[in-house]
Structure 1
Amino acid sequence: MLFLVAALLLLGVLLGPVAHAPLPFTLAAGTVIALWLAVFALRERHARRRRSAD
């Protein structure tokens, strides 16, 4: 339960400023984050395949 409260508090702190940011900035930041997560996922998948092949 404490984890849930902390996660919601963090989400509110992170999304609060976005509500006041201009839409183009919000979209650009979202795109950068999405690309970063995609690169991370691809690297993790590649590393997992390499470990299972050994």
Structure 2
Amino acid sequence: MLFLVAALLLFGVLLGTAAHLPVPVTLLAAAAVVLWLVVFFVRERRHTGEGASR
């Protein structure tokens, strides 16, 4: 329950910040987050693939 409250609080802070930023800055920040998630996904996928083949 505490995790849910913290997640909603963080979500509200992030949305509040994005509402006050210009659209190009918000899109650039979103692109940076997406790029980081893709890199993380690829690294995890590689790591999982190596462990499964042994």
| TM, length-normalised to structure 1 | 0.89
**RMSD between aligned residues:** 0.9
**Cα distance in structure 2, aligned partners of 1:34 and 1:47:** 20
- Gaps of at least 5 residues in structure 1 are none
Q: Percent identity?
A: 56
- Gaps of at least 5 residues in structure 2 are none
Letter in 1 for 2:18: V
The secondary structure found in structure 1 opposite 2:42 is: helix
Q: How many residues are matched?
A: 54
| TM, length-normalised to structure 2 | 0.89
